[in-house]
Structure 1
Amino acid sequence: MTQMAKALLVDDRRENLTALEAILQGLQVQSVAVESGEAALKRLLVDDFAVILLDAQMPEMDGFETASHIKRRERTRHVPIIFLTSADQDAQLAMRGYAAGAVDHLTKPFDPWVLRAKVSVFVDLWLKTGQLTAQSALLQEREAQRRLLTEAIDEATALLRTETDPAAVQRAIGLLEQARWGNTG
């Protein structure tokens, strides 16, 4: 079963977090709300997220500094960030957000259906990436099994070509059985 996607919601105002949680309700995503950049960075140490909705203007550590830390970490550098800023803020904030690593920028008040659509896209991408990773691991495992089987067949064939002793034939059969069942004895 695939793990449920999570969205990290970061805003210093509780009422904004409540509104974001309501907007995302009904989507196949678990909302995780935090009230500071520091709290967001701590959550990113223990959880994986499909998308981050990040308020640009927060006290202490603002959204730009938070994004900068997120993008410097190997574990989180590819998590998409959507910046949320107030309409009365300078237009340069959008450019600053993109420079900090954001994939998108929405100005408050924004259309909730637009935000839902954007989050849905990132959730779908996250789920598909997880599926591809699982399929890749399975293919690597099968390739390793194929290599073991090929090596066992080669070794057993070499034994059968050079040995006529019944014990050697039994050893060759044992090699093939081990390879068949994935044992490397």
Structure 2
Amino acid sequence: MPHKANILLVDDRDENLTALEAILTSLDQNLVRANSGEAALKALLEGDFAVILLDVMMPGMDGFETAAHIKQREKTKDIPIIFLTGAGIDRHQVFRGYASRAIDYLTKPFDPWVLRSKVEVFVDLHHTKQRLRDQSRMLQRDLNPESGATAGSVAGQLSRRTAEINANLGLLRDRIVTEERESDQKTIEAVRDLDRSVARLTTLVEAIHGPE
């Protein structure tokens, strides 16, 4: 069973953070609070996060500036960001958001079901990436000449695990379509990237295992 993912909630108002926690608690993941951009950057140094929910309007360092810092760091640049913004966002703000490479926007007051569903997709992507990293580490370890493992036994384990990941990716693709996320292009691209990673892993496994 995968480890719980960390989800970073960033808002300068405690009542907003409490509301986000109430919406997302059913996902059974680790919800981490930050009440400023500075606090968010500090939290990101201390852990690995699946997704960031980031309020746009905050005193001091606002959401866009915080996102820019996040995307400049090698460790955090690929973490998806969902901006939470008030009604009446103007074109300049939209441009700043895309310049910060945010994944998505939600305008307050937002639909709790929509927010929870979007976050759940990114949590699932995060868990899938974790499994791929685990497969890579296992392959490197078991192919070490000192491990004593045979190529056939390693390939057999990897084949089963790769099949599990492919099945999970299939379910994730189905959810993106059935829950009407066709317009969420960056999410679709992230799934395609994972597809390519799994395909490379599958090819490597087949090369190790050899013809039947």
TM-score range, shorter chain: 0.7 to 0.9
Q: Determine the C-alpha separation between the residues in 2 that align with 1:100 and 1:72.
A: 9
Query: Is the contact between residue 94 and residue 105 of structure 1 (CA under 8 Å) also seen in structure 2?
Result: no
The one-letter code matched in structure 1 to 2:54 is: L
1:75 is aligned to: 75
- Residue 64 of structure 1 corresponds to which residue in structure 2? 64
Aligned to 2:35: 35
Report which of the two structures shows the higher radius of gyration computed on alpha carbons.
Answer: 1
Partner Cα distance (1:149, 1:106) in 2: 50
Q: TM-score, normalised by structure 2?
A: 0.66
Tell me the TM-score normalised to structure 1 length. 0.76
Structure 1 residues 55, 147: CA separation in 2 closer, same or farther (over 3 Å shift)? same
Provide the aligned C-alpha RMSD in A: 1.9
- Rounded to whole Å, the distance in 2 between the matches of 1:137 and 1:15 is 42
Give the structure 1 partner of residue 85 of structure 2. 85
The structure whose residues are more often helix, as a share, is 2
Unaligned runs of 5+ in 2: 151-212
Cα deviation code 1:17-54 (max 9, x no counterpart): 11111110110321111110000000000011100000
Partner of 2:2: 2
Partners of 1:126 and 1:101 lie apart in 2 by 18
Q: Is the 8 A contact 1:83 1:106 kept in 2?
A: yes
Deviation at 1:2, TM superposition (A): 3.1
2:123 maps to 1:94: no
Take 1:41 and 1:149, find their aligned partners in 2: how far apart are those partners?
43
Residue of structure 1 equivalent to 2:21: 21
* Distance in 2 of aligned mates of 1:4 and 1:71: 23
Name the counterpart of 2:209: none
Task: Answer yes or no: is 1:124 the counterpart of 2:113.
Answer: no
- Once residues 149 and 45 of structure 1 are traced to their aligned partners in structure 2, the CA distance between those partners, rounded to angstroms, is 37
SS of structure 2 residue aligned to 1:69: helix
Instruction: Return the alpha-carbon distance in structure 1 between the equivalents of residues 18 and 28 of structure 2.
Output: 17
Query: Given that residues 142 and 149 in structure 2 are in contact (C-alpha distance below 8 angstroms), is that contact kept between their aligned partners in structure 1?
Result: no
Report the AA paired with residue 34 of structure 2.
Answer: V
C-alpha separation in 1, matches of 2:148 and 2:99 = 49
Cα deviation, 1:82-115, whole Å, max 9, x if unaligned, reads 0010003324323321211201111111111111
Q: Give 2:11's aligned residue.
A: 11
1:102 counterpart letter in structure 2: A
Task: Supply the distance in 2 between the matched residues of 1:106 and 1:82 (Cα, whole angstroms).
Answer: 7
Change in CA separation of 1:138 and 1:58 when aligned onto 2, cut-off 3 Å: same
Structure 1: 5+ residue stretches without partners? 151-185
Counterparts of 1:85 and 1:42, CA distance in 2:
22
Q: In structure 1, how many angstroms separate the alpha carbons of the residues matched to 2:86 and 2:129?
A: 32
Change (3 A) 1:113 1:149: closer
In the TM superposition, what is the alpha-carbon distance from 1:146 to its structure 2 partner? Answer: 7.8
